[in-house]
Amino acid sequence: MRRAIVFLVLLGGLAVLSWPRSASAQVSIWLQKGVSGAGAAFVVQHDDSQTSYGVNGGYSIRGFLELDFTAAYLSFPDDSLTDDLQGYVVIPRVEVHPLKQSQDIPVSLGIGAGAAKFFLLSDQLDDMGISIDSWNVNFDAAVYRFFKIAPSVGITPAVGVGYVHSWATASQRREERTATDDSFSGAIGTYLAFLDGGGRIWGIAPSVSVDDDGDASISLRAGLVWPL
């Protein structure tokens, strides 16, 4: 019976590990080729298994190489692994943008990779002596193109694909069980940018992604980028 409980807990834990799904750049997508910048944003993402509220920051070197870090709080429905489950995730990430839109190149390309560490909290799991160690590695690529719609306003549609490899280990006393999962997804998004008088870029970006099981996720990013 104890092994069955640990295995069920482990399978339930895997359901929360596909975050993040949508392929979306933090800073570089807002910048032209050769322009460096720093940015910060607030991100909300929702699907059937969780709702996340996060903040992230990033630094882009000449719109080509980018370093990012995200921290988020995870809220789960009552019918999740336990009815008191909550969690946190931290995600360091790196991106490269080998193609940038120009007179000769019609679109830009971004490729990113990150690692996510999850911290799942539950008094009910603690009472059973069960702990879960949860991680994922995620990769994505997105094609995007900027359109100027007003002197200080632009819009950038993007289409992306993503892959997440997740693993979790459930421990109860001296027993451990490990499981893994692989998830593929496709995403579409739109980045709306406003350039203020100080040269700062205010942006909002809704997106929708669907994974290979047909589960949909929606997200909204709102933030500020400072060209340097």
Query: What integer is the mean pLDDT of 62-80?
Result: 88
Burial (CB count <10 Å: 0-12, 13-18, 19+), residue 197: exposed
What CA–CA distance (Å, rounded) separates 157 from 2? 50
What CA–CA distance (Å, rounded) separates 70 from 116? 9
- The SS3 call for residue 6 is helix
| pLDDT on residue 13 | 53
> Which phi and psi (to 5°) does residue 22 adopt?
-75, 140
What CA–CA distance (Å, rounded) separates 136 from 140? 13
Tens of pLDDT, residue by residue over 102-154, are 989 999 999 999 999 999 888 888 887 888 888 889 999 999 999 999 999 99
- Looking at 83-152, which runs of residues are DSSP E strands? 86-99, 108-121, 130-144, 147-150
What CA–CA distance (Å, rounded) separates 50 from 23? 18
Tens of pLDDT, residue by residue over 155-197, are 999 999 999 998 888 887 777 778 788 889 999 999 999 999 9
The whole-model pTM stands at 0.89
Domain ranges of the chain: 2-141+162-182
What CA–CA distance (Å, rounded) separates 215 from 212? 7
